[in-house]
């Protein structure tokens, strides 16, 4: 009779209720630990993309200014301080004076702001206050993100 019950136990395979509860508890604990790490990783990627986009635009602005100061772009608008009038000029290009109809482009396209999702950047001119969120329109001296989110250290991304 003992052998029949042993055979019955061997044929009944599966998990007990206690084993299922323990397995699900472990699974939930691991999932709860992974979620904040995933959010942190996404935030870090956005920050890295923002730094790259800002560096790309600022480098293009600096190249434009250098060429304008060396008189390689022809006559610049009075009051622009040799900075571009808009960001679109960096993409569309500037006709270089000379016998050839040549255009110099400083950017292939405006980079996307990873926090706002668009290409509408905040701009500052030389005449604007450094902390100002509004653009005077005279020239483009600097760009910033229009997001109001804060970095983990407490600084606004618009101040980067």
Q: Span 25-34, mean pLDDT?
A: 87
Percent of the chain with pLDDT strictly greater than 70: 92
Q: Is residue 143 part of a domain?
A: yes
Q: Is residue 133 part of a domain?
A: yes
The residue segments making up the domain with residue 60 are: 17-159
Instruction: Convert the pLDDT of each residue in 92-129 to its tens digit.
Output: 988 887 777 788 899 999 999 999 988 899 898 887 77
- Determine which of 89-98, 126-135, 140-149 has the lowest per-residue pLDDT on average: 126-135
Residues 106-143 as b or e (16 or more Cβ within 10 Å = b): bbeebbebbbbeeeebbbbbeebeeeeeebeebbbbbb
Rounded to two decimals, the pTM is: 0.74
Q: Is residue 4 part of a domain?
A: no
Q: Is residue 10 part of a domain?
A: no
User: What was the pLDDT predicted at 107?
Assistant: 92
Q: Is residue 12 part of a domain?
A: no
Q: Is residue 121 part of a domain?
A: yes
Q: Is residue 3 part of a domain?
A: no
Instruction: Convert the pLDDT of each residue in 41-75 to its tens digit.
Output: 989 999 999 999 999 999 999 999 998 888 887 77
Is the pLDDT at 9 greater than 80? The verdict is no
Q: Is residue 5 part of a domain?
A: no
User: Using CA atoms, how far apart are residues 69 and 132, in angstroms rounded to an integer?
Assistant: 26
Band of pLDDT at residue 5, cut at 50, 70 and 90: low
Percent of the chain with pLDDT strictly greater than 90: 26
User: What was the pLDDT predicted at 7?
Assistant: 61
Give the number of domains in the chain: 1
């Amino acid at each position: 009779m003992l052998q029949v019950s042993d055979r019955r136990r061997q044929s009944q395979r599966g998990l007990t209720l206690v084993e299922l509860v323990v397995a699900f508890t472990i699974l939930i604990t691991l999932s709860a630990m992974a979620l904040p790490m995933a959010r942190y990783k996404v935030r870090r990627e956005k920050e890295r993309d923002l730094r790259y986009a800002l560096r790309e635009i600022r480098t293009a602005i600096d190249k434009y200014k250098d060429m304008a100061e060396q008189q390689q772009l022809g006559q610049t608008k009075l009051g622009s301080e040799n900075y571009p009038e808009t960001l679109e000029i960096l993409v569309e290009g500037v006709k270089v004076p000379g016998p050839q109809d040549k255009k110099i482009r400083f950017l292939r396209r405006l980079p996307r702001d990873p926090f706002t999702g668009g290409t509408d950047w905040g701009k500052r001119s030389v005449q604007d206050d450094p902390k100002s969120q509004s653009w005077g329109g005279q020239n483009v001296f600097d760009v910033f993100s229009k997001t109001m989110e804060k970095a983990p250290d407490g600084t606004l991304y618009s101040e980067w």
